[in-house]
Amino acid sequence: MTLAPVEYAVAVEHYLGTLRLAEASRRVYRIALATWAWSLVDRPPPEGRARRGAAPPIVPLALLDAPDAPHRLSAALAHRAAVADPRTIGRELSILRGAIAWWRTRGWITGDPLRGLRPPPGQASESMALTPEQVEAIFALPVPLREKVCWRLLYETAAPIERLLALNVDDLDLGRMRVRTPHESHRHGTAPRDRSRAATAAQTRRQAGTASGGRSQAGTSAPTGPQMGTASRTGARAGMAAGAGPQMDTAAGVDPQMGTAARTDPQMGTAAGTDPQTGTASRTGPQAGTAAGTGQEAGAISEIRWRPGTARLLSLLLVGRAGGPVFLTERRAPSGTAPRDRCPVTGRGRLSYRRAAELFTTATRDLDPEGHGWTLRHLRSAGPARP
């Protein structure tokens, strides 16, 4: 047992110091734990963007051992369930459980105020279907272009919101109003590298032909034309004949062979979006790479299509942008963010699921007859399976 800190906020920092987290994840943990502090003094936490920068009240850690602590936390959970997505509620409750368990092992508190407390069993309104009039009211809201595009894309495609947030600019085929297939994404994202390899291979073949005595002797020593294509695919023998070394088979794998090379090169897989750190804000973790068109779920992503109205808005959103996430945050990404998860021009990061859900619920609160606001899943389930 060590001496317990007096303040809840200090105990939070001690706990966070024991966790091996990326800076973005550490910020999410800190915000979640700070949100619970408001409930311990019977004050509602700020909502929306104000929650991030709000200074939590100074709360004694000992309040977690108070007899009414379970009741206060239960009331806070019910309040959060009314304004946040069930997935967010479950994550925030899990974060607090982890902190309380660690504080108890240190002897800083003795009781468990969360004993028996469970997330609400999928809010009853979650299964409620939005009417066409309500959907139109959502699309008429005065919100930034980013939200307009995100909401319409979700409604028209019925794709999981996590997959849409995982998309990068080069994943989109704007002319055909769809997401590229995995094969197209690899070719689109790695074309410069493929062209470079093709040019290198061509130069190697020319040098090989010259060294072997020019075109007149090419048929014997360094096959060119159709023979060259055959020889270059025979592996080491072609490499020896052309003087290109063991790299010849790979370098010459262009034209009919290039597609295979681009798909099997491990480095190209990484460049195409399988970095495990994708999804700074949120779509953090390996889901980002899968959602963007790699892995087992890529088939579903290749079927994402949208309608002309969304296409016009999407073109406006992407003006001047050749790469990076489709949906960006308002601020620059933290240092250490994977290149795939930040805009190469502005440095802004990828919009997280948590933030996107929070924005939608806040914006639709006045439209919801119950005054809670709807979730992104409401909007997704209201749309057609395909445009």
In-domain check, residue 244: yes
Per-residue pLDDT of 26-62, as tens digits, reads 888 888 898 898 888 878 777 766 666 677 789 999 9
- Label residues 201-231 b or e (16+ Cβ within 10 Å = b): beebbeebbeebeeeeebeeebbbeeebbeb
* Co-location of 98 and 138 in the same domain: no
| Pair 160, 285 in one domain | yes
- Taking residues 243-268, report their average pLDDT: 37
- pLDDT at site 49: 64
Mean pLDDT value across residues 332-346: 91
**CATH (domain of 100):** 1.10.150
Task: Check whether residue 118 and residue 132 sit in a common domain.
Answer: no
Q: Which of 64, 99, 122 is the last residue of a domain?
A: 122
Residue 179 included in any domain: no
Amino acid 48: pLDDT: 64
Task: Read off the pLDDT band of 233 (50, 70, 90).
Answer: very low
Residue 203 and residue 62 share a domain: no
* Residue 182 forms part of a structural domain: no
State whether 102 and 157 are in the same domain: no
Tell whether 102 and 18 lie within a shared domain: yes
**Per-residue pLDDT, 276:** 34
> pLDDT by residue (tens digit) across 78-120?
887 777 777 788 888 888 988 998 999 889 999 999 988 877 6
Residue 113 CB: number of other CB atoms within 10 A? 22
| Same domain as 98, residue 63 | yes
Give the pLDDT confidence of 162-195 residue by residue, as tens digits.
889 999 999 999 999 999 876 665 555 544 334 3
pLDDT tens across 208-221, in order? 444 444 443 434 43
Q: Give a yes or no: residue 43 inside a domain.
A: yes
Same domain, residue pair 14 and 107: yes
- Residues 356, 252 share a domain: no
Under DSSP, is residue 146 helix (H, G, I), strand (E, B) or coil? helix
b/e sequence 279-296, b meaning 16+ C-beta within 10 Å: bbbbbbebbbbbbbbbbe
pLDDT, residue 141, reads 93
Has residue 45 been placed in a domain?
A: yes
118 with 133, same domain: the answer is no
pLDDT value at residue 241: 36
pLDDT at position 232 is 39
> Is residue 186 situated within a structural domain?
no
Say if strands 328-332 and 348-350 run parallel, antiparallel, or are unpaired. antiparallel
- Let me know whether 160 and 297 are in one domain: yes
**Tally of domains in the chain:** 3
**Can you tell me the distance from the alpha carbon of 300 to that of 287, in angstroms, rounded to the nearest whole number?**
14
Among the candidates 266, 295, 327, a domain finishes at 266
Q: Are 58 and 348 in contact (CB under 8 A)?
A: no
| Domain that includes residue 159, residue range | 127-166+278-382
